[in-house]
Amino acid sequence: MTYPFCSEDFKAQPYWWDGTPSSPLRDRELADETDVLVIGSGYTGLHCALQTAAAGRSTTVIDAQDAGWGCSTRNGGQISGEIKPGFEALRSRYGAGRAHALVSEARGALEWLGEFVESNALDCDYSRCGRFLAAHNPRQFRRLESMARHQPDGLEQSLRIVEPGDQASEIDSNYYHGGLVIERHCALDPARYHRGLMQLAQAAGAQVHGHCAALSVERMRAGFKVVTSRGAIVARDLVVATNGYTGGVTPWQRRRVIPIGSYMLATEAMDPALAERLMPHHRVFSDTRRIVVYFRRSADGNRLLFGGRVSVFESDPVKCLPALRQEMLRIFPQLEDVRISHTWMGFVAYTFDHLPHLGVEDGIHYAMGYCGSGICLASYLGNRLGMRLLGEPGGGSAFAETRFPTRPMYSGKPWFLASAVRYYQLLDRLR
């Protein structure tokens, strides 16, 4: 199914896969034993594997689909190093010390990722482009102003208020009411970053297997026996790095993450002058709505990559493409005649406390729950996870020190999601 507004070469798959086709990695035989078995081959799993393999532990990474098939090759490529709850909310929950530790560790992860990409010369269009956080109404603009003026002591960062009257310097749209430029935020090509990371992990000795689903986990005296779709494997250490795709194989983790679909589209290449006018500084963009939209130009500058959530229930991305395009046209009506070349979706993992978590439960190590901002935190916490497995001092993290909550009656299927989305949509209209 396509629509009149789709290009002739329209694809229902991530735009990034055109430049970086996915890696099936289904040929190699699975070993019988391994020191470390990682379930999930996204940023979390590969960063963990890179650490353990480089330290000489035999390391096997398995994925139910092509390597990197999950969010790590389908995201928006916007890097923030921010966590969802603000400092004040965290302070009232945990006290000032822990709140400070959580925010500053997440912010530090952004620097860490930049250094990782640079020191390994990863060719992934990484750029420190800055973010324009757009206010969707005047009340939110005042909130952003106050946020910029009253930053918590010791956590100040460069924030620049853009008055509604000056907004045209950032974005060619009348939809917003001013905003905030966050200079530190960055962009990359997620699939190229994943490919470079996977090559590093493989070069360090990690074996990566696609189309190898973990089907069951059995605890043994020393380690685990994992039955996969390609045979059984015994592992001394087991890591679950499945985030929004966490399933019944690890029910404790599944009860703690809420899978939520995020949907994207890419336009066809447009007139470069039009693209340049839309967002002249090549920044990444998001807005102050609770049901947020996010967008940016492609690395060559000529396409708009636009994401968000437009349906209350999970849906086929092609089915909800008209509504997602409509959302884009509300912001950029001048794109009416620009056709759509790609659409896709993926499942991010929210948590009940809106924080990512790192830890070990019943011997199984995990890092997950990035609440839609995982490029930086999945990479960083995957790295910490690897260090913790090795018993290295660098494995400490404030994200390992908060309880990973669930809710009574929740088993991993978010029956409450549609009502929550409706409620947040209403709040977005009112405030």
320 binds ligand FAD (CB under 6 A): no
Which member of 57, 74, 131, 283 binds ligand FAD (CB under 6 A)? 74
373 binds ligand FAD (CB under 6 A): yes
CB 59, CB 35: distance < 8 Å: yes
> Count residues contacting ligand FAD (CB under 6 A)?
45
Backbone angles phi, psi at 39, to 5 degrees: -95, 115
Q: Smallest distance, Å, CB 243 to ligand FAD? A: 3
CA dist 162 and 159 (Å) reads 10
CB 46, CB 382: distance < 8 Å: yes
Which member of 50, 198, 375, 421 binds ligand FAD (CB under 6 A)? 375
Which window, 251-259, 273-281, 313-321, 341-349, contacts ligand FAD (CB under 6 A)?
341-349
214 binds ligand FAD (CB under 6 A): yes
Query: Among 260, 335, 338, 339, which residue's Cα sits nearest to residue 292?
Result: 260
CB 205, CB 217: distance < 8 Å: no
Q: Which is nearer to ligand FAD, 13 or 120 (CB)?
A: 13
Quick one: tokens of 424?
Answer: 């947040």
210 binds ligand FAD (CB under 6 A): no
Q: Smallest distance, Å, CB 149 to ligand FAD? A: 27
Quick one: tokens of 208?
Answer: 């990566």
24 binds ligand FAD (CB under 6 A): no
259 binds ligand FAD (CB under 6 A): no
Which member of 196, 259, 346, 359 binds ligand FAD (CB under 6 A)? 346
Find how far residue 315's CA is from the centre of its chain: 19
Q: Write the DSSP symbol of residue 119.
A: H
Which window, 128-136, 316-324, 343-351, 406-414, contacts ligand FAD (CB under 6 A)?
343-351
Neighbours of 142 (CB within 10 A): 13
Which window, 76-84, 317-325, 388-396, 417-425, contacts ligand FAD (CB under 6 A)?
76-84
CA dist 298 and 414 (Å) reads 33
CA dist 77 and 60 (Å) reads 27
Q: Could you tell me which residues are beta bridge partners of residue 365?
A: 239, 360
CA dist 14 and 12 (Å) reads 7
Using CB under 6 A as the binding rule, the residues of this chain from 43 to 62 that contact ligand FAD are 43-45, 62
Which member of 372, 380, 388, 389 binds ligand FAD (CB under 6 A)? 372
Which member of 49, 61, 64, 90 binds ligand FAD (CB under 6 A)? 64
282 to each of 235, 304, 305, how far by Cα in Å? 45, 11, 12
Where along the sequence are the contacts to ligand FAD (CB under 6 A)? 39-45, 62-65, 69-72, 74-79, 213-214, 241-245, 247, 249, 262, 264, 294, 307, 345-346, 348, 368, 370, 372-376, 378
